[in-house]
Amino acid sequence: MRNITLLTLLSVLYSTLSGGISFAGSDLSATFTRIQARNASTGIDAIYYNPASLPGLGRGLFISLNSSTLRGSSTITSTYTPLSPSPKEYRGEITSPLLPDISLVLSGRRVSLSAGINSMGGGKRLYHNGTPRLEMPIPDMVKVLSERGYPVSDYSSDLFLGISERRCTYQANISFIINNIISAAAGVRMVTATDIYDGHIMDIKADPVHPEHNPAGSMITVSDFSNRAGHHDIAEISANRNIDAEQWGRAVTPLLSLSISPSDIIDIALRYHLRGKMRLTNRIDEGNDVGTDLQGTPLFPYNSQAVSYIPAMLAAGFTISLPFRTTLSGSVSHHFSTGEEDKVRQEYSLLHYYDSRTELGLGAELGIIPGISLSAGWLNRIAHNNLRSNLLFPPGSHSLGGGIGVAITPLVNLNIAISRTYGKPYRAEFNDTQQASYLYSETYTGRATTFAFGLDILLGL
């Protein structure tokens, strides 16, 4: 029988380390949100996208302050036959609070030092009727009552899951000019991840017919019925349970960056991030294992770990300056597969990552008058159809962004932006053979809106 797994939604960082809420891309600055293609940035946000270009800012101390917030929703539709009803929809609310980000660049004649702290994604997902991974074990368990001689035709439950995610990056670079055309940089990025899970599995009911304990076949609490009928194994796993756990981990990845400016109007950039490995450690009170399976094995043991990989990434981009204060930008980022993800110890039943993923972005900025510019951009995220397990949001998406940049003073620039992300509907097929041969699918849809603002400040030397 499928065990009721109390924590089946432990994040693996393939998608989330590419951006907020597991699908919001590389929104590490308000400028990115309004242009959507910054791999060849020559501004202060180049600390993340193109650190080799930073000496081109000129001498001075540069500060960038950014923040963004996100609102969205996601829907999972499962055709798993035993669910009631089937197919069944699970709706999630997605929110992200305003979190401050800061970047600093100290630039000299030929060398610059830079550092930044950035909220690389995070927020909260609320699933008020649970998720397929939480509910699927319940009809399987209820079916066992029928197999033991107590016919069951229906069930119900009270499910809730809240997931709070926080992804932070701490990055430091050294950049230097090689000649009038080429500059380079080397850096290191540390990523920290915190996932907090809050929820419950309660009030599991069914309508087993029993001549003594439920002759009318009324809806009755499964744990109470099973205790009275002497099926204590089912009584134990159908009891009310709370989900309360936290995971934390960190990983360090080196990076290399190259910036090429063959002319005054063209900038070309390359960036490579090496692969990183993260161990997510359970942070729960010792002795609180959040339940056991039928054999008494803890489902979420104290101090246990799940392994996650930050895939290697190659990024490239260009920026072209055109007449009439117009700039065109393009970006491509590819997250590689190493094959090692296949060997991850799948201690929990919902791990979401892919063999590889590509992001393609295009953006344009038009200076309508001196000191004020409007911009728009598009970003296409492509997952290469090697989904390992279930998701909470489609693996691929389109984003449209736009906004305004205002030079408040010669030393202070303001960026205000908005973007809309549309998840590409994704259908995944599964075959469950633990109870019977169920061929079923899950379809993921979703959308989200991001609001961002930022201040770029120059303090002269």
Q: What is the per-residue pLDDT across 19-32, written as a single tens digit (0 to 9) for each?
A: 333 444 457 789 99
- Which candidate, 382, 359, 236, places its Cα nearest to that of 297? 236
CATH of span 13-459: 2.40.160.60
Per-residue pLDDT, 16: 27
DSSP state of 328: E
Distance CA 230, CA 148 (A): 11
Residue ranges per domain, the chain? 13-459
CA separation (Å) from 18 to 119, 293, 310?
A: 12, 34, 9
Tokens encoding 261: 């400016």
Per-residue pLDDT, 24: 41
Per-residue pLDDT, 392: 66
CA separation (Å) from 29 to 232, 400, 450, 453, 456?
A: 55, 15, 12, 8, 10
- Which candidate, 279, 312, 262, 155, places its Cα nearest to that of 219? 155
Q: Which long-range contacts (CB under 8 A, 24 or more apart) does 318-324 make?
A: 318/40, 318/266, 318/267, 318/268, 318/269, 319/40, 319/41, 319/42, 319/266, 319/267, 320/265, 320/266, 321/264, 321/265, 321/266, 322/265, 324/366, 324/367
Distance CA 237, CA 204 (A): 10
The pTM of this model reads 0.84
The region that residue 25 occupies, defined by phi over 0 for left and psi between -120 and 50 for alpha, beta otherwise, is left
Per-residue pLDDT, 182: 97
Per-residue pLDDT, 375: 98
Distance CA 379, CA 324 (A): 25
* Residue linked to tokens 């600055």: 29
Tokens encoding 396: 């691929």
Per-residue pLDDT, 285: 56
Residues in the chain: 461
Per-residue pLDDT, 432: 59
Tokens encoding 134: 């939480």
Per-residue pLDDT, 309: 74
Q: Which long-range contacts (CB under 8 A, 24 or more apart) does 377-382 make?
A: 377/34, 377/35, 377/36, 377/37, 377/329, 377/401, 377/402, 378/36, 379/25, 379/36, 379/37, 381/18, 381/23, 381/25, 381/357, 382/357, 382/358
Q: Which helix (H) or strand (E) holds 132?
A: helix 132-135
In 3-state terms, the chain is what percent helix, strand and coil (to 5)?
Answer: 10, 55, 35
Find out whether 444 and 423 touch, Cβ atoms under 8 Å. Answer: yes
State the maximum Cα–Cα separation within the chain, in Å, rounded to a whole number.
Answer: 90
Listed as ranges, residues in the chain with pLDDT below 50 are 1-25, 287, 289, 291-296, 341-354, 388-390, 433, 435-436
Distance CA 59, CA 108 (A): 5
- Which candidate, 169, 135, 143, 99, places its Cα nearest to that of 1? 143
Distance CA 214, CA 229 (A): 10
Find out whether 124 and 70 touch, Cβ atoms under 8 Å. Answer: no
Find out whether 223 and 238 touch, Cβ atoms under 8 Å. Answer: yes
